[in-house]
């Protein structure tokens, strides 16, 4: 097959014929991203709260998650594979570790940037510390939190494409199949949806983030 004679029609034709398989890869892809960042969210938000309250903890936690994030993704996945074996679980753990830093950092910064007078008002009207956290601090830092999730999700979508190297699923399979078979149609068929997914996620979460900006809220009228 000669790559330079490929047209967009060939690609669409290929994708149409293999729609079932590509959709399956796509949903595996999305599933791993959701699970990995979801777990990171569940662990990262409490860690972020901890960091916001205890500067000493913040130093340790943020440094640790920072180190995790600067590891090249391939290296991280391979190291995890040595420990956890082949499979999608390894990928999910990798994503989890990768997503921690943006989520923890943004939660922490979001909570810290709140004007102290809101917190004092909350204390003054008789809110318990938990009520202040849930009724005042979280609502007012939602936009930061969302921005952390958005960064984490977009990074995760990219990282998952190398999942097949450690035995994972997702659109990466199609890409690596294309590389191995020297079939650029298959490379495109995997890479383009992955790229579109990343862009769409960025736009949707970005819109949500703007909507959740509550510190200057307006009514409809």
Which of 158, 64, 160, 159 is closest to 104 using CA atoms? Answer: 64
Rule CB under 8 A: say whether 115 interacts with another protein: yes
Quick one: DSSP state of residue 163?
A: G
Quick one: DSSP state of residue 134?
A: I
Rule CB under 8 A: say whether 113 interacts with another protein: no
Rule CB under 8 A: say whether 126 interacts with another protein: yes
Measured distance CA(202)–CA(133) in Å, rounded: 27
Structure tokens at 55: 């500067």
Which of these segments, 52-60, 98-106, 129-137, 165-173, binds another protein (CB under 8 A)? 129-137
As a three-state string, the secondary structure of 114-132 is: CCHHHHHHHHHCCCCHHHH
Residue 13 or 215 having the CB closest to another protein: 215
Rule CB under 8 A: say whether 127 interacts with another protein: yes
Rule CB under 8 A: say whether 56 interacts with another protein: no
Residue selected from 12, 46, 85, 120 as contacting another protein according to rule CB under 8 A: 120
Question: 10 Å Cβ neighbour count for 24?
Answer: 15
To another protein, the closest distance from the beta carbon of 79 in angstroms equals 43
Rule CB under 8 A: say whether 12 interacts with another protein: no
Quick one: DSSP state of residue 113?
A: T
Rule CB under 8 A: say whether 216 interacts with another protein: yes
- Inter-residue contact 135 to 122 (CB < 8 Å): yes
To another protein, the closest distance from the beta carbon of 51 in angstroms equals 23
To another protein, the closest distance from the beta carbon of 52 in angstroms equals 18
Residue 180 or 216 having the CB closest to another protein: 216
Which of these segments, 29-37, 55-63, 66-74, 136-144, binds another protein (CB under 8 A)? 136-144
To another protein, the closest distance from the beta carbon of 129 in angstroms equals 9
Q: Compute the C-alpha angle 44/48/49, nearest 5°.
A: 125
Measured distance CA(41)–CA(38) in Å, rounded: 5
- Inter-residue contact 15 to 22 (CB < 8 Å): yes
| Size of interface with another protein, in residues (CB under 8 A) | 24
Instruction: Tell me which residues touch another protein (CB under 8 A).
Output: 115, 117-118, 120-128, 131, 135-136, 139-140, 214-219, 221
């Amino acid at each position: 097959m000669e790559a330079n004679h490929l047209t967009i029609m060939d690609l669409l034709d290929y994708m149409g014929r293999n729609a079932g398989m590509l959709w399956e890869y796509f949903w595996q892809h999305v599933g791993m991203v959701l699970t990995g960042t979801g777990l990171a969210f569940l662990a990262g938000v409490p860690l972020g709260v901890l960091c916001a309250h205890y500067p000493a903890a913040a130093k340790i936690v943020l440094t640790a998650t920072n180190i995790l994030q600067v590891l090249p993704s391939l290296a991280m996945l391979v190291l995890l594979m040595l420990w956890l074996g082949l499979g999608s679980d390894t990928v999910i753990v990798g994503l989890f570790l990768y997503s921690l830093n943006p989520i923890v950092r943004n939660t922490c910064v979001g909570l810290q940037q709140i004007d102290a007078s809101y917190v004092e008002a909350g204390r003054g009207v008789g809110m318990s510390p938990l009520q202040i956290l849930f009724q005042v601090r979280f609502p007012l830092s939602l936009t930061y939190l969302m921005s952390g999730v958005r960064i984490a999700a977009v990074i995760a979508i990219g990282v998952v494409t190398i999942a097949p190297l450690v035995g994972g699923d997702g659109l990466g399979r199609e890409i690596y199949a294309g590389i191995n078979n020297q079939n650029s149609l298959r490379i495109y068929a995997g890479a383009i949806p992955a790229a579109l997914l990343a862009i769409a996620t960025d736009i949707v979460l970005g819109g949500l983030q703007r909507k959740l900006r509550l510190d200057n809220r307006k009514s409809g009228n």
